[in-house]
Amino acid sequence: MNMKLKLAGILLLLAAGASQAAEATPPDRRSVNVSGRGEVSATPDRARLSMSVEITKPDLRAAQAEVNRIVRDYLTQLKALGIKDDDLSTAGLSIRAEYDYSPKTGSRKFVGYHISRGIEIVIRELDKIGDVLLRATDAGINNVSDPALESSKADELQRQALAKAADDARVKAKVLADTLGVKLGPIHTLNANTEYTPPPLVQTGRFKTLAAAAPEVSGNDEIGFAAGQIKFAATINADFDLTAP
């Protein structure tokens, strides 16, 4: 085979490849991009509490003994309220030596051992949350964080919010397609995000002063507790094909 025939063969192969590539290239795609949003609200049905006992004493054993006594007394009260062992954790413990530093002399003076014992509680009956918090101050718990309110149906509610967001996006895309005189085709790309908004938190700073209130009033009434609503939201960005009518 001479050089001219070889060159002609190569040119034919290149032409055939270019033709196939042109055939494989899809036509310009017509599409519409929309966003959708869905939201679902629910009343919380459980709460998580984090609290701790913090004590500083020169004698380490004395500090440990007092902390442990407070925790034991409080656990007894929690069990009397019906809180189960599975919903309690007292594993958090830290011990550190504390010193008072003098900026004038640059010296330091030993103050004592600071012990912190953490308590984690899951409350599955929210009508008990006030009593749980008030008894904490009675027992000597001196560090209480705001309750984290939750829903045991969080996954299901999040899916409901996603479904609403998807419907919202589809309806918007259909409106645009109908207005433009084209048909809404299948979805091409989809991105989704979910959000969780807890209700306003209870102000724990009031618990200490309310602990001595009249016993016939419920703990929830004493602290002014209201569960509020948890909001589950979802946003979707969807890209739909558009086809000729």
pLDDT digit string (tens) for 31-83?
A: 999 999 999 999 999 999 999 999 999 999 999 999 999 999 999 999 999 99
> pLDDT (tens digit, 9 = 90+) per residue, 128-157?
999 999 999 899 999 998 899 999 999 999
Structurally, what CATH architecture does the domain formed by 46-150 represent?
Answer: 2-Layer Sandwich (3.30)
Task: Find the mean pLDDT for residues 201-211.
Answer: 44
Percentage of the chain surpassing pLDDT 90? 67
Question: pLDDT at residue 201 above 70?
Answer: no
28-44+152-245 with 46-150: one CATH topology? Answer: no
- pLDDT of res. 230: 93
Rounded distance between C-alpha atoms, residue 207 and residue 222, angstroms? 9
Name the CATH superfamily, with its identifier, for domain 28-44+152-245: Protein of unknown function (DUF541), domain 1 (3.30.110.170)
CA dihedral of 173, 174, 179, 185, whole degrees rounded to 10: 90
Of the two residues 102 and 182, the one the predictor is more confident about is 182
Alpha helices in the chain (DSSP H): 3-24, 60-80, 129-139, 154-180, 207-210, 219-223
Question: pLDDT at residue 22 above 60?
Answer: no
**pLDDT-derived band at 213, boundaries 50, 70, 90:** very low
Provide the residue ranges of all domains of the chain, joining segments of one domain with +: 28-44+152-245, 46-150
